[in-house]
Amino acid sequence: MNKPTISIIIPVKPGFSVTAAQRLAAVEYPRDRYEIIVAEGYSPSRQRNAAVAQAQGEIVCFLDDDSLTAPDYLTVVAGHFESPRVTAVGGPSLTPASDSILQRSIGTALASALGGGGMRNRYRAQGEARLTNDSELILCNLSFRRERFLAFGGLDERLYPNEENELLDRMQHAGEGLIHDPRLAVFRSQRPTWRLLCRQFLNYGRGRAEQTIISRRVRPVSLLPALFLAYALLVPLFPGSLFLLPLACYGLLLLVVSAGEAARARSLGMFPRLPLIYAIIHLAYGAGLWWGALGALAGRRPKPGGEVALRQVKGLNDPPVAAE
């Protein structure tokens, strides 16, 4: 029986290199059964939707430009879709050992309960393949059955980020099967500077707020960073009182967890960085939640995504390579 056809879709900004496509040259999958489409533009959700509309594969596989895959990646993806109940399949995004100490510290924080929370399995290879929800799936490493993706209307182009979370949430509530498989891990570098880390989680928080408003489904735990930020901003108004006690406990928690994670990673250099990384994750995410919520109340509308240019790096009609 022929393996299913797969369309690998990689959104990039114009002129960006596509490291992922270079790694896919070594993939162990029939070369006439997959294609690679690069979608250039400035609106990733629109880029992905446009590429899916033109894709020829039965499965659409979303990777980022720097998602580095293993040789058997497509084989494992295709295996899950043998079950007609499966609609989406994904795996974690791991931090390369070659990253800087800051980047590896960020990866460690995201893979921990304090930093990643219920989403930490997006950043660590843990357990076996399993049914899941959007908390364990991430768009830089996510595949869909194309017909179901189109049936659900694709990604909501008003959202970036969190467009995949909104779609996966709708799919799960409709009874579609979502799979997380740690074997499908890709490697991607974390943000290389403190400024980019702040901006990343500010945008993540904004995306979560906008997703919540669009879907009208509230996850109370996701609101905690916004409440914590509000509390932290009020602390200066109550100096020298019991009002400071939760902040002191939070600081102690950061130090204890950071020491434990640095010891587990066998990296003393992570210890001074981790407390600040955790604080940035929490506070920047909280600020993003307020930003997204207040922007929606003010009637802010997303900017037009602009044009999308599609180019095929490899086509499904390319001839297979004979076995040596």
Backbone φ, ψ for residue 207 (5° rounding): -60, -40
Q: Side by side, which strands form the sheet with 130-131? A: 130-131, 177-180, 86-90, 141-145, 59-63, 6-12, 34-40, 309-314
Taking Cα atoms as reference points, which of 135, 127, 133, 143 lies closest to residue 76? 143
pLDDT-based confidence at 324, cuts 50/70/90? Answer: very low
Question: What is the domain class of 6-99+121-189+304-314 according to CATH?
Answer: alpha beta
* Residue ranges of the chain assigned to CATH 3.90.550.10: 6-99+121-189+304-314
pLDDT-based confidence at 318, cuts 50/70/90? Answer: confident
Which range, 19-23, 33-37, 216-220, 316-320, has the best average confidence (pLDDT)? 33-37
pLDDT digits (tens, 9 = 90+) for 69-98: 999 999 999 999 999 999 999 999 999 999
Maximal CA-CA distance, the chain: 76
CB 67 within 8 A of CB 21: no
Taking Cα atoms as reference points, which of 111, 106, 141, 140 lies closest to residue 125? 111
Q: Return d(Cα 102, Cα 322) in angstroms, integer.
A: 45
pLDDT(65) > 60:
yes
What is the pLDDT, as a whole number, of residue 316? 87
pLDDT-based confidence at 2, cuts 50/70/90? Answer: confident
Taking Cα atoms as reference points, which of 262, 265, 291 lies closest to residue 275? 262
> How do 86-90 and 130-131 pair as beta strands?
unpaired
What is the pLDDT, as a whole number, of residue 301? 62
Average predicted confidence (pLDDT) for the chain: 94
Neighbours of 143 (CB within 10 A): 32
pLDDT digits (tens, 9 = 90+) for 19-52: 999 889 899 999 999 999 999 999 999 999 999 9
Q: Return d(Cα 125, Cα 128) in angstroms, integer.
A: 9
pTM across the whole model: 0.94
pLDDT digits (tens, 9 = 90+) for 282-310: 999 999 999 999 998 887 766 667 899 99
Residues 21, 185, 66, 163, CA torsion sign: positive
Provide mean pLDDT across the span 125-152. 98
